[in-house]
Amino acid sequence: MDAGKGYTLPHLPYGYKALAPYISEVQLTLHHQKHHQAYVTGANAILEKLEKARKENADLDMKALLKELSFHVGGFRLHNMFWENLAPSGVGGGGIPKGALAAAINAEFGTLQCRGIRMGCADVLHEHRAAHDDAGRKAQCQPYPGIPDPDGPRSLGARLLSGLQK
């Protein structure tokens, strides 16, 4: 592929240590340089395949190739938005949520602490309902009807966001 074509890993708008202690330097570096880079590498590999096939007039399984390209470009774009929506404490980030976001979190979970317990358990212990419910009871959180499917959309996050958009 010609230089200047394709996708490149964007620079973060802050340093790798800037989001600590919420996201450690190691976690942020790994997520940006390895995970996000994998989307860049994957998308560029498919673009190179397409360019090579055009030059050689070769047949490709376009449906499969475009599905894979969509996956990589989607991951690339979502991560770009992710980085832009994070901010270091004191520079637009940090602190306890206020306004509509705080109201949505409290309506869904009871408190911000309960949100952390519920989402943490959902991420780490999604198949262990008893451990999930026990952690919530100890923190006196509102009952939570289920743990999100880790392979499916995050319905709670979607409900929180859709509630803010009304």
Domain count, the chain: 2
Confidence of residue 92 (pLDDT cuts 50, 70, 90): confident
* Within a domain: 144: yes
What residue numbers bound the domain in which 136 lies? 99-164
Closest CA to 42 of 5, 80, 71: 71
* Within a domain: 58: yes
DSSP string, 20-31: TTTS-HHHHHHI
Read off the DSSP letter of residue 126: T
* Within a domain: 3: no
Q: What CATH number is given to the structural domain containing 42?
A: 1.10.287.990
pLDDT of residue 28: 94
Answer whether residue 137 shows pLDDT above 60. no
What is the chain's mean pLDDT, rounded? 75
Answer whether residue 122 shows pLDDT above 70. no
Indicate the residue among 85, 120, 137 that finishes a domain: 85
For 68-89, the pLDDT digits (tens) are: 999 999 999 999 998 988 888 8
* Within a domain: 37: yes
Region 25-54: mean pLDDT is 95
pLDDT of residue 150: 42
If one compares 13 and 144, the residue with the highest pLDDT of the two is 13
* Within a domain: 14: no
Q: Are residues 69 and 109 in the same domain?
A: no
Residues 6+ apart with CB under 8 A from 147: 121, 122, 125, 126, 127, 129, 132
Q: Are residues 79 and 123 in the same domain?
A: no
For 42-53, the pLDDT digits (tens) are: 999 999 999 999
Q: Are residues 52 and 109 in the same domain?
A: no
